[in-house]
Structure 1
Amino acid sequence: MNQAVFLDRDGVINEVLTERVKFVNKPQDFYLLEGAGEGIYLLQQAGYKIFVVTNQGGVGLGYMKEKMLHSVHDEMQKKLRSYNAHIDAIAYCPHKPHENCPCRKPKPQMIHDLAEAWDIDLTQSFMIGDREPDIVAGKQAGTKTILVGARDQDKVEADLVFEDLLEAATYITSQIEI
């Protein structure tokens, strides 16, 4: 079985709700967070499969079409290539926030589906997110959980907390026995 790191997208890999960009609804709104490319590269070099699991309610709400979402993800992969990094697979929930679909985080379906498709041992894997729904989804799926950033730190009980993805990746890769 493989080990994986499941990543939320907005706020973990790319900017969101910043002075430069509010929401990422088109490729030109996609800005990698500092250290994200390096962090993903470190995890890949350590043998982890890298997956994005992201709620994209803007599709269901009509702010963007799925085709544009795919263009945003293509831009993400393009920017990660400059760090020799890539995402192995992307799962997203396009439904409206209160539609109660089974794939929207905090429900763990996206993680379970990727784990089944890629033969992932969830007990040896991580979910990294910047908000409570990410951490709850990871816990329900059976992964270790890491909260990055300080936004929800007081109300989220993640296994570990780090400033950003690079710091989390550095910790994860330092725990591997060679």
Structure 2
Amino acid sequence: MSNLTKKIIFLDRDGVINYDHGYVGEIEKFEFIDGVFEACNHFSKLGYEIIVITNQSGIGRGYYSEEDFINLTNWMKDEFKKNGINILKVYYCPHSPDKDCECRKPKIGMITQAINDFNIDLEKSWLIGDKISDIQTAVNANIKNTILIKEDKKIASFTANSLFHTINIIKKQGK
């Protein structure tokens, strides 16, 4: 494989990057989970780039607008930049669950779009989420390296209490 292929850490947002207070669509309600920046800096030092994939049914349900979400996302990315971290891209599904779209996790539309946009090596990439549907997305997309935050190890490769606690799981490997 080419050295130009990207190793990606796919991160869910709510429950992994920020506390999931339910339908977080405004900056005022967004609260970073402790250790997020340290973990992401660690991933960067290991040669990973970060992509966020997030279901945002609050848009489809009318709890907040797509513009609200984009403003919040831009603010979030700026906060990462202030901490020396570049978020390669944020993919989101704005649909409510009843729409049966291809982008809502556990379907793989957001992963497929990322693969179309970037030269990604899925063998060396990871997906970290806090719900079984996140891990099922990885399984459906053939991403073998998974970490489930705050749930039982059912189908994930590993579990951790928070993103910060994944530092000891994701190590520089020659695979």
Q: Which of 155, 158, 161 does residue 157 from structure 1 map onto?
A: 155
Q: Which has the higher mean CA deviation after the structures are superposed, 34-43 or 163-172?
A: 163-172
Query: Which runs of structure 2 are paired with 1:75-94 in the superposition (5 Å)?
Result: 75-94=75-94
- The structural deviation recorded for 1:60 is 0.7
Q: Which amino acid aligns with 2:149?
A: V
Partner of residue 13, structure 1: 17
Question: What's the % identity of the aligned pairs?
Answer: 33
- The structural deviation recorded for 1:116 is 2.4
Partner of residue 116, structure 1: 116
User: With structure 1 as the length reference, what TM-score do the two structures score?
Assistant: 0.89
Whether 2:146 is the aligned partner of 1:142: answer no
- Measured against aligned partners, the alpha-carbon deviations of 1:82-101 in whole angstroms (never above 9, x if no partner) come to 32113110000000112100
Unaligned runs of 5+ in 2: none
- Measured against aligned partners, the alpha-carbon deviations of 1:66-125 in whole angstroms (never above 9, x if no partner) come to 111011111211222332113110000000112100000000110121022110011211
Q: Do the aligned partners of 2:23 and 2:63 also contact (CA within 8 Å) in 1?
A: no
Q: Which of 163, 166, 169 does residue 167 from structure 2 map onto?
A: 169
**Partner SS, residue 97 of structure 2:** coil
User: With structure 2 as the length reference, what TM-score do the two structures score?
Assistant: 0.91
- The structural deviation recorded for 1:168 is 1.1
Q: Which has the higher mean CA deviation after the structures are superposed, 60-69 or 80-89?
A: 80-89
RMSD in angstroms over aligned alpha carbons?
A: 1.4
Q: Which amino acid aligns with 1:12?
A: V
Q: Which amino acid aligns with 2:108?
A: P
Q: Which has the higher mean CA deviation after the structures are superposed, 71-80 or 124-133?
A: 71-80
Q: Do the aligned partners of 1:42 and 1:170 also contact (CA within 8 Å) in 2?
A: no
Unaligned runs of 5+ in 1: none
Q: Which amino acid aligns with 1:157?
A: I
Residues in 2 aligned to 1:90 and 1:165: alpha-carbon distance in whole angstroms: 17
**Partner SS, residue 128 of structure 1:** strand
- The structural deviation recorded for 1:166 is 1.5
Q: Do the aligned partners of 1:56 and 1:92 also contact (CA within 8 Å) in 2?
A: yes
Residues in 1 aligned to 2:8 and 2:167: alpha-carbon distance in whole angstroms: 12
Q: State the 4+ residue runs in structure 1 displaced beyond 6 angstroms.
A: none
Q: Do the aligned partners of 1:13 and 1:33 also contact (CA within 8 Å) in 2?
A: yes
Q: Do the aligned partners of 1:4 and 1:51 also contact (CA within 8 Å) in 2?
A: yes
